[in-house]
Amino acid sequence: MTLRSPSPADSLAPRTTEVSRPDKPEEACGVFGVYAPTEEVATLAYFGLFALQHRGQESAGIATFDQGKLHSYKHMGLVSQVFDDGKLKTLPGEYAIGHTRYSTTGSSHLANAQPAIAPTKLGEIAIAHNGNVVNAAILKTELHDSGYDFVSTADTEMIAYAMAEAVDAGQGWIQGAISAFKRCQGAFSLVIGTPAGIIGARDPHGIRPLVLGILGDEPSQSGGPANYVLSSETCGLDIIGAHYVRDIQPGELVWITESGITSMQWDATAERKLCVFEMIYFSRPDSVVNEETLYTYRIRLGEELARESPADVDLVMAVPDSGVPAAIGFSKASHIPYAEGLIKNRYVGRTFIQPTQSMREVGIRVKLNPLKDVLNGQRVLIVDDSIVRGTTSYKIVKALREAGATEVHMRISSPPVTHPCFFGIDTDNQEQLIAANLSVEEIAEKIGVDSLAYLSWEGMLKTTHQDPNSFCSACFTGDYPVDIPDPYKRSKLKFETSVPSTAATV
């Protein structure tokens, strides 16, 4: 068996080149689904993915179902580059699922773009997946032995074939999906299109987010079933005017059809372990978690950081845009004025154009440029949400000093990232994580700041105002909520070190 294959030229398209790789953890993807028979569902999916663009910028795809027949289109690039009015008009249907991708499992080629499509005896299915299946190698071997051939290297295709195998063995859509889920270990928030309706589901730990919304002012349209929406974040609901209903729970499956929505707990042992980096950085600040926007949580992070690690400086500034709420919080708690010291070019995306060597030598400032009249003669404290490799931090500090800052202090609104993620976040292996190799004092020296301090692990969790045990924070502690197969684990955990003191200051 094979999935429908892209053209060889497209499948061999290279990863688009960046001026420099962000010194941040990078998200895997965003998923979206909409059941709205009276609406243009492909257009709704387009806008939902547009709102989720921050979660992945490599490829985008939409699959629609028109009276059970699947239509799909996917390609490399941003959502606005992949789709236009003409392409959306080729995607008719009563419901749609969509995906925007950053690759973690599987390289950056069109063959790995989602949704993944698989044939079954009951019709084709399409799957959009956010997360990472850590036993993918084992699952691929099992499915290959069952006669399945793969056109991609992404774990999503393995989930699709596992479900197809169950359906072809006589199981219905829901039971077939559950059978596939039970074969998967790791993180998966899924939106699955079938000829009969849409499935939304999360892994037993709910590591990656997924929310449910209703489209329209009333619970139902014209006396019929409600128009439902599934999205990685609430910002995907807001953009199309949908109303947030609730989170899909860890280990839960929802089934959306013309009859309405039903829910079941497919894993009775579920225990929430939401990725805490969703709170700190990944999710958009206007997305809602625990009945408040993440902007509000991130301000509290900055306030706690100011209490833990004060500094005698003239102004507080942020690395835009992700560091802004925490910097505002730091300023609020410390009573030190907040100012914009760096201006971000918000139109910078991925580009094929490389700067010349001479541009690199003088320090090309494509994304961030300092305000010299704000910084000159000032003792500056700059706030960011994380340091992964330290490369960008060094360049920013250098630019601030060249702009006239007399002192540069840095505060980070999360603990040191000492361990890689195996659940859908690209955080490199330990050899590339600066905090796994160096102490806080050594990092400060390497990036050229006068002082450096991280938020404590306890402070990060306390400010969530939620049960601290309900989060995965393995990138800070090495305490993974799911057992990682040894070969996969060894590929990233090159060595182990004790976690540095999270509140240390130079």
Residue type for position 98? G
What pLDDT shows up at residue 490? Answer: 76
pLDDT band at 14 (very low <50, low <70, confident <90, very high): very low
Least confident of 54-68, 105-119, 163-177: 105-119
Q: Give catalytic residues, as residue numbers.
A: 29
What are φ and ψ of residue 288, in 5° steps?
-105, 130
Q: What percent of the chain has pLDDT over 90?
A: 76
Q: Which has the higher per-residue pLDDT, 356 or 43?
A: 43
pLDDT band at 102 (very low <50, low <70, confident <90, very high): confident
Number of other CB atoms surrounding residue 433 within 10 Å: 25
Please tell me the pTM assigned to this model. Answer: 0.89
pLDDT band at 355 (very low <50, low <70, confident <90, very high): low
Q: What is the pLDDT of residues 137-154, one digit of tens each?
A: 999 999 999 999 888 888
Burial class (CB in 10 A: 0-12, 13-18, 19+), 458: middle
Task: Name the average pLDDT for the chain.
Answer: 88
What are φ and ψ of residue 85, in 5° steps?
-55, -40
Q: What is the pLDDT of residues 456-486, one digit of tens each?
A: 999 999 999 999 999 999 999 999 999 998 8
Cite the DSSP H helix spans in 309-382.
324-334, 357-362, 372-375
| Omega before 10 within 30 of 0, i.e. cis | no
3-state secondary structure of 136: helix
Examine the pLDDT at 353 and tell me if it is beyond 50: yes
What pLDDT shows up at residue 168? Answer: 98
Please, what is the angle between helix 155-168 and helix 173-181, to 10°? 130
> Across residues 247-271, what is the average pLDDT?
97
